[in-house]
Structure 1
């Protein structure tokens, strides 16, 4: 029983980090209708900056600088590249993010090379034991930090002018523009926020028990993509629920890998996508996705 509880707790911790990444997908999609496939490279960028800065300025300052720099890079992608194209051609902009991801990822993978880079987080390999359950302190920190950050984001959506503008743009961009919503500013701020969340998520994705930042760390963002799809691409709450479901599923598959050997040794890598497909068969719009109405 303790083993199962520990696995679920680790899954919730992992899901809370996936939620930070999935919210980035959702925020950008709500603001512009673009699926940002450059999110993995932004996550790797944030983690790399923390890794190279923490010995010089300390972990807290390195984290702050990395979050700020990643947010600025994400905002620049929107202002310099995406804004030059037709904002209504979301499919073209989505394809462009793939190109951005290739460029950023290639350069960052060259810089990281074959090394494992520590981020200098204060938790290290410390663990906490309670009720016979042993949990890494980094996992507990990931849950607490994610709760605070996600709660703050939900408050921003609900109570700030930018959040109101974002919700209006997600409902009807043309109507929002006619009502005076500055769509370009809303979109750029959405990209900046998504970049900041990606950099923050990198800290917990490479913390213990993970060995450290490596060149393939950015690909972890792809596991959060099914979570965003599961919840419905326009629903932040759905992204949170989908992320927790994906995280717990992945932890259960890894924890009971021997019992699931008939499914193959690499089933844990495809489990998030298997869950996504199963849910979408029942709810094509996602867990909390709204059905689109089309006037004919």
Structure 2
């Protein structure tokens, strides 16, 4: 029973980190309809900025500077993509792949073989309860993910900005005719997604992880199935999909010996396997809505 509880908590902790990453995918897609495959490089950029700035500035100021840096980078990306938004829907997504390659290549060159620490305040502290041992950073990541996702749900539901965002995501032209500044809404969403990448990077680099490496941005590849699984563009689905994917990965890791008949590395495959199985039964995702058209 203790092993099961430990694996369940590990799944929730991993899923919370995935939720922080997947929320960036969700915001961009909700605002502009694009899938930002450069989000992983923004995550790595945010972690790199915190790592190089925490010694001269201190951790809080380094995080603020990284938030500004990644938000600015996301804004530049959005401005570039704005030039091709009237073309095929696939063009902006393909461009984000090009941006991702360029940014990842430069960051990998700068980081090299180093493992950079972010100077986070949690260190290697652990907490124990009900026979479960957990890194303090993982507990905080779970709390932060729930608060952020809950906050965005409330904003989208009850604020004027959230209403404008929902209107522009459903029909940008109609929203513009009703006075919604669609371009500004999209820029804000991209900036928020860039800022979310920093939050995710801080927790990704925290104990039990070693720190920021040049491959850290690849975590976005596992978070993307979580976003799709929940329903790309659904904030609540982002959290649910991330927890499902995190739980699947943790169970595959915790019971690797019992599942050895399926081969090694099952935990790496688990996010994509769960995504495929769910999407076969529910193509719009767990909380996504079906598209309908009048004829």
Aligned positions of 1:234-249 closer than 5 A: 234-249=233-248
Q: Note if contact 2:149-2:236 (Cα within 8 Å) is conserved in structure 1.
A: no
Counterpart position of 1:70: 70
Counterpart position of 1:233: 232
SS at match of 2:155: helix
Aligned positions of 1:57-96 closer than 5 A: 57-79=57-79, 81-87=80-86, 89-96=88-95
Counterpart position of 1:4: 4
Counterpart position of 1:179: 178
SS at match of 2:291: coil
Q: Deviations over 1:52-105 (max 9, x none)?
A: 0111111111111111211111011112x1112234632111110000000101
TM-score by length of 1: 0.96
SS at match of 1:202: helix
Counterpart position of 2:258: 259
Q: Using the alignment, how far apart are the partners of 1:116 and 1:234 within structure 2?
A: 34
Q: Using the alignment, how far apart are the partners of 1:170 and 1:280 within structure 2?
A: 22
Runs of 5+ unmatched residues, structure 1: none
Q: Deviations over 1:234-279 (max 9, x none)?
A: 2111111000101111111111111111212111111100000000
SS at match of 1:105: helix
Q: Note if contact 1:32-1:87 (Cα within 8 Å) is conserved in structure 2.
A: no
SS at match of 2:288: coil
Q: Does 1:165 align with 2:164?
A: yes
Counterpart position of 1:189: 188
Counterpart position of 2:41: 41
Counterpart position of 2:288: 289
Deviation at 1:294, TM superposition (A): 2.4
Q: Using the alignment, how far apart are the partners of 1:148 and 1:288 within structure 2?
A: 19
Q: Using the alignment, how far apart are the partners of 2:246 and 2:205 within structure 1?
A: 15
Counterpart position of 1:121: 120
Counterpart position of 1:211: 210
Q: Using the alignment, how far apart are the partners of 1:198 and 1:87 within structure 2?
A: 27
SS at match of 2:175: helix
Counterpart position of 1:101: 100
Counterpart position of 1:14: 14
SS at match of 2:133: strand
Deviation at 1:153, TM superposition (A): 1.8
Runs of 5+ unmatched residues, structure 2: none
Q: Which moved more, 1:147-156 or 1:60-69?
A: 147-156
Q: Using the alignment, how far apart are the partners of 2:68 and 2:131 within structure 1?
A: 40
Q: Deviations over 1:204-243 (max 9, x none)?
A: 1121111111111000011110011111112111111000
Q: Does 1:140 align with 2:139?
A: yes
Q: Using the alignment, how far apart are the partners of 1:88 and 1:15 within structure 2?
A: 35
SS at match of 1:135: strand
SS at match of 1:65: helix
TM-score by length of 2: 0.97
Deviation at 1:131, TM superposition (A): 2.2
